[in-house]
Structure 1
Amino acid sequence: MEIDQERRRTEATTGGASPLAGYLSDQRLVRASPATADSRTGEVPDAGPLNVWLTGTGTPAVLPGRAGPSTLIRAGTDLMLIDCGNGCAYQIARLGFDPKDITHIFITHHHADHNADLPFLLMSGWVTHRDDYQAPRVIGPPGTLEFVNRMLALHEYDIRARLDHEYDIERLAPEVIEIHDGAQMAGSAWKATAFRVDHHPVCEAYGYRVETRETSVAISGDTRPCDNLISYANGVDVLIHEAIYPGYGYPEYHTLSTDVGAVATRAGARQLVLTHLLPGHLPAVRWLEHVRPDYGGPITVGYDLMQVM
């Protein structure tokens, strides 16, 4: 009954049209991808070092000490988030940053533990900073545009309720870029390259290499040991790679702790950082026992809010 009354009030004040006509109710808020990923090659921008934090090192398993997978990168004035697992907005705040200052969100693939907080990040920034919010650019595999539109449609009721408070719906709509293997994007202080990884049966899964002239980091996303990752991570300063312990989960489309050291060695990575740890409760020494025989460089078993660069 209350819903019917609200519908009648809406029809009376809008001539029968939804207050979001032309947006979520009838079309898509993000109607078309405003840009495509830049596939040019070129020089890495001349800038200082990267700063990198592990904002979440967990998996779909809910543990008190491990938020959903995400990695925060600062380069110049840009603040980039690789994946946005559950809880990452609060983790960003714990590091002393305002989530509204995120300029780019990179999605590796569309498993829920890697994209769950995307709607909250967008909505929270828009609601909290009504007059000056600028949505981050969202970069991800084919299907990301549809995901963003459906995610915003899910929150249509919330969006509609806030229009009476002079919220600008255009501020909420992010620019979406769908990537391909080898796609490059750049900011004033960094360059990022997307590379396809092997997370079959997920057919569109990617990792990212982010670099300045001084430093570089590669993030694996979820993958089996993968030649394409090894090629794109060649000589990287820090390789942040997922790991699964034998006997747990689904090793056929992840990288075992007994294999990840060899991946880092083949890539020539100067440092290896383990994340997306399954299971998340094992002590670091258990992981190191598996990785050390195949990799001679520094190894870090990641934990939430750790700075690795």
Structure 2
Amino acid sequence: MQDDKHKPLTGIDHKRRSLLRAGMSTALLAAPYARMAQAATPAVKLVLLGTRGGPRVGDTGKNLGKFTRMNASNLLLIGGVPYVIDCGYGVSQQLLKAGVTLETVRYVLITHHHSDHELEYGNLLYNAWSSGLSHQIDTYGPPGLEQMTRDFMALNHIDIDTRVADEGKPDLRKLIQAHDITDLGQVLVNEQVKVTAMHSIHPPLADAYAYKFETGGKTIVFSGDTAYNPKLAEFARGADYLVHEVMYAPALEALAKRVPNARTMMEHLHASHTVTEDVGRIAAAAQVKNLVLSHFVPGDDPAITHDIWSEGVRKHYQGKLFVGRDLMEFEL
């Protein structure tokens, strides 16, 4: 008598086993591709670190000593990797508040050479080093960034040399790789993201950029500082998020009264920034899914409410609109 274990296989049994083996083989073959697909769609988080436009620091008047909005900087976390866009005053502090330890910063991108976007560029790199940085940071920006990086290292060479010798720290100068952007069509490409750029309108600077991040089927565009520019709508077409600077024109006269260079400053603001209505026009033409207002000009006037910032935009754009605030987060 034969036990079940040693019974000869019937035609049906052979078929079942063949199907089982085929299923297992398919699963084994599919597993790497599933992992690749998962890797190709990393988790993405957008954080507004600093939403104030202009180089002035802190609030004024009755709010003197407060910091309602820090200067311009943004963060993208792509698969947990930090990409910092602009380094205005307070960027290190804001990263920590956002839960990002400084030594984990991997990429830094600068939109243009104005102090409210790069004042703490070197300090962020140094603070990352002080916090235990051991890997390379790649930085990207308009021509002049490489020289600015060398100048920062020269400014701090005594401290860097001392800490390398006395504390055994790695040489900060060897950890930072700065890149002057020469190809707007391929600023940065790695296994997670492709970053491209376009020229914005921000006189008198000839090299000021908007950046587009494409990752895992999602697109995030940062306008940088710019006057009304229909080409930006083409660049940002269909984006999941457009982070756009904004200026409220009726408040500029009051802003001008606080500074001695009022006339020339007003000329600059009108030539180099985008009023609320025109931000709406750009977002509508681009058909972006979400519009995030940031880099507010003026950025310290409490009389300008969220509704006021939104009113002009809503004349043209009816999609999802967010009036940005420091440390506002978006999960993509």
Aligned to 2:248: 245
- Would you say how many aligned residue pairs link Structure 1 and Structure 2? 263
Unaligned runs of 5+ in 1: 1-44
Distance 1:78 1:285, change over 3 A: same
Alignment of 1:1-309 (within 5 A): 46-59=40-53, 60-63=55-58, 64-129=67-132, 133-165=134-166, 166-169=168-171, 172-179=174-181, 180-247=183-250, 248=252, 250-280=269-299, 281=301, 282-309=304-331
Which whole-Å CA distance do the structure 1 matches of 2:106 and 2:187 have between them? 16
Aligned to 1:13: none
Is the 2:153–2:173 contact (alpha carbons within 8 Å) kept by the matching residues of 1? no
1:220 is displaced (CA, Å) by 0.5
1:174 is displaced (CA, Å) by 1.0
Which whole-Å CA distance do the structure 2 matches of 1:128 and 1:54 have between them? 22
Which whole-Å CA distance do the structure 1 matches of 2:68 and 2:242 have between them? 22
Distance 1:123 1:266, change over 3 A: same
1:270 is displaced (CA, Å) by 1.0
Which whole-Å CA distance do the structure 2 matches of 1:172 and 1:95 have between them? 27
Which whole-Å CA distance do the structure 1 matches of 2:160 and 2:184 have between them? 35
Q: Deviation per CA, 1:230-274: give whole Å up to 9, x if none.
A: 221111011000011104251211111121100111111111100
1:76 is displaced (CA, Å) by 1.4
Aligned to 1:12: none
Aligned to 2:35: none
1:284 is displaced (CA, Å) by 0.6
Instruction: State the 4+ residue runs in structure 1 displaced beyond 6 angstroms.
Output: none
Is the 1:56–1:91 contact (alpha carbons within 8 Å) kept by the matching residues of 2? yes
1:304 is displaced (CA, Å) by 0.1
SS of structure 2 residue aligned to 1:285: helix
Which whole-Å CA distance do the structure 2 matches of 1:119 and 1:135 have between them? 14
Q: Deviation per CA, 1:92-122: give whole Å up to 9, x if none.
A: 1111110111110010001011011111111
Is the 1:235–1:270 contact (alpha carbons within 8 Å) kept by the matching residues of 2? yes
1:188 is displaced (CA, Å) by 2.0
Distance 1:224 1:68, change over 3 A: same
Is the 1:50–1:211 contact (alpha carbons within 8 Å) kept by the matching residues of 2? no
Letter in 1 for 2:328: M
TM-score, normalised with respect to structure 2: 0.75
The RMSD of aligned alpha carbons is 1.7
SS of structure 2 residue aligned to 1:308: strand
Which whole-Å CA distance do the structure 2 matches of 1:158 and 1:258 have between them? 49
1:190 is displaced (CA, Å) by 1.5
Q: Deviation per CA, 1:167-198: give whole Å up to 9, x if none.
A: 22256541122224323422222211111111
Is the 2:87–2:118 contact (alpha carbons within 8 Å) kept by the matching residues of 1? yes
Q: Deviation per CA, 1:51-106: give whole Å up to 9, x if none.
A: 10001101222231111111100111421011011101111111111011111001
Which whole-Å CA distance do the structure 1 matches of 2:161 and 2:43 have between them? 42
Letter in 1 for 2:147: E
Unaligned runs of 5+ in 2: 1-38, 59-66, 253-265
Which structure's residues are more often helix, by fraction?
2
Distance 1:80 1:230, change over 3 A: same
